[in-house]
């Protein structure tokens, strides 16, 4: 059973959800190795923004394979990651988004290693939410096709 939902309504619900949380698990991969770690993030609409050090494993993995998976609570996000340096206007803008959500946190890192800090911007492609209650459901928000639907987890999943 697949029930169509209002795309704009589900999208706005996810924007609000992301604004309310602080941590996301980020999974990246390179060759046959997948790694996951928890990072603090800020959101801008549905985009996820975090910073890291430019020599980190996640940066090397994202450069080789920009496809990432994220998990916040019961919400799984598949997306494309982009590394943005502070020298670019976009990097300066992303820094302000992070500073607004976590005052002092980015500044601490910039005071110690400003040349090592880079930003990661993840643009979601697909968001899946496990919904529990009387009956469990999986809610999909397909951003490429601008489609939202609800499915029963024991049926074959199309996404």
> Residue 123 domain-assigned?
yes
Instruction: Provide the CATH number for the domain around residue 83.
Output: 2.30.110.10
- Residue 137 inside a domain? The answer is no
Q: What are phi and psi of 15, to 5 degrees?
A: -60, -50
Cα 135 from Cα 118, distance rounded (Å)? 43
Considering the domain boundaries, does residue 155 fall inside one? no
Q: Which two tokens stand for residue 97?
A: 């988004």
**pLDDT interval class at 134 (50, 70, 90):** confident
Helix axes 105-112, 89-101, angle to 10 degrees: 130
Read off the pTM.
0.94
As a whole number of angstroms, the distance between CA 77 and CA 66 comes to 14
Among candidate residues 85, 77, 21, 8, the one with its CA nearest the CA of residue 54: 85
What the block records as the tokens of 100 is 């607004």
Q: What's phi and psi for 133, nearest 5 deg?
A: 160, -145
The per-residue pLDDT for range 15-56, each reduced to its tens digit, is: 999 999 999 999 999 998 999 999 999 999 999 999 999 999
* 154 occurs within a structural domain: no
Question: Would you say residue 144 lies in a domain?
Answer: no
The encoded tokens of residue 72 equal: 């916040």
Residue 136, in any domain of the structure: no
**Number of domains into which the chain is organized:** 1
Please name which of 151, 152, 146, 154 lies closest in space to residue 126, comparing C-alpha atoms.
Answer: 146
**Are the C-beta atoms of residues 48 and 82 closer than 8 Å to each other?**
no
Residue 149 forms part of a structural domain: no
SS3 state at 12 = helix
Given a cut of 90, is residue 157 above it in pLDDT? no
Q: Is residue 135 pLDDT above 90, yes or no? A: no
Q: What is the pLDDT of residues 95-131, one digit of tens each?
A: 999 999 999 999 999 999 899 999 999 999 999 999 9
Q: pLDDT band for 12, please (50, 70, 90 cuts).
A: very high
Note whether residue 156 is domain-resident. no
| Domain coverage including residue 122 | 7-128
Residues recorded for the chain? 159
């Amino acid at each position: 059973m697949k029930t169509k939902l209002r795309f704009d309504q589900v999208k706005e619900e996810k924007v609000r959800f992301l604004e309310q949380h602080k941590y996301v698990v980020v999974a990246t991969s390179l060759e046959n190795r997948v790694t996951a770690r928890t990072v603090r993030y800020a959101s801008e609409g549905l985009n996820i923004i975090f910073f890291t050090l430019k020599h980190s494993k996640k940066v090397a993995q994202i450069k080789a394979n920009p496809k990432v998976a994220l998990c916040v609570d019961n919400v799984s996000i598949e997306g494309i990651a982009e590394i943005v340096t502070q020298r670019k206007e976009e990097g300066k803008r992303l820094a302000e988004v992070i500073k607004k959500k976590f005052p002092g946190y980015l500044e601490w890192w910039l005071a110690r290693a400003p040349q090592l800090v880079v930003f990661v911007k993840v643009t979601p492609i697909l968001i899946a939410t496990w919904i529990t209650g009387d009956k469990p459901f999986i809610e999909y928000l397909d951003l490429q096709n601008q489609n939202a639907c609800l499915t029963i987890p024991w049926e074959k999943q199309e996404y």
